[in-house]
Amino acid sequence: MKWMAIDYGDVRVGVAVSDMLEVTARGVETISWRGQEISYVVDRILKLMDMEKVEGLVVGIPRRTDGKPGPSEEKARQLAQMLKERSGIEPILQDERYTTVLAGRIMQEAGIKGTRKRQVVDQIAAEIILRDHLDRRRKGRL
């Protein structure tokens, strides 16, 4: 089964997909939208889902470090609901605390800087969300 993970942000949305064997995760796109029209983001994700032949969807839920709901959480939940209504796929909602921090560390270790960093940080965060989901599936926790 092929999965897609979404790292929601008010400026950019990172997208990653798995392979059919649910082993690898790779970033496919960063959707820049600057918080303007969410329908643009939904349309683009649906197009990517179709192109990648995705059967499962994971949406990262941005919680505060103390575990309480943050201001972006409701927006991410709304995005997940819109994707469900339009695709018919029930998204799995997953806590995504620290994924952007981890993505930043990965990029620092790889020497990625500047403009390139902004282009890929959200994709790497989506990859982390997806890898975590795939690991939990392999361990039978889902």
Residue-wise pLDDT for 87-99, tens only, equals 999 999 998 877 7
Map tokens 């959707």 to a residue.
31
Token pair listed for 12: 């950019």
Instruction: Give 69-125 as a 3 state SS string.
Output: ECCCHHHHHHHHHHHHHHHCCCCEEEECCCHHHHHHHHHHHHCCCHHHHHHHHHHHH
- In tens, the pLDDT along 50-93 reads 999 999 999 999 887 787 887 889 999 999 999 999 999 999 99
CATH architecture, range 3-138: 2-Layer Sandwich (3.30)
Map tokens 């952007």 to a residue.
100
Q: What is the pLDDT of residue 95?
A: 87
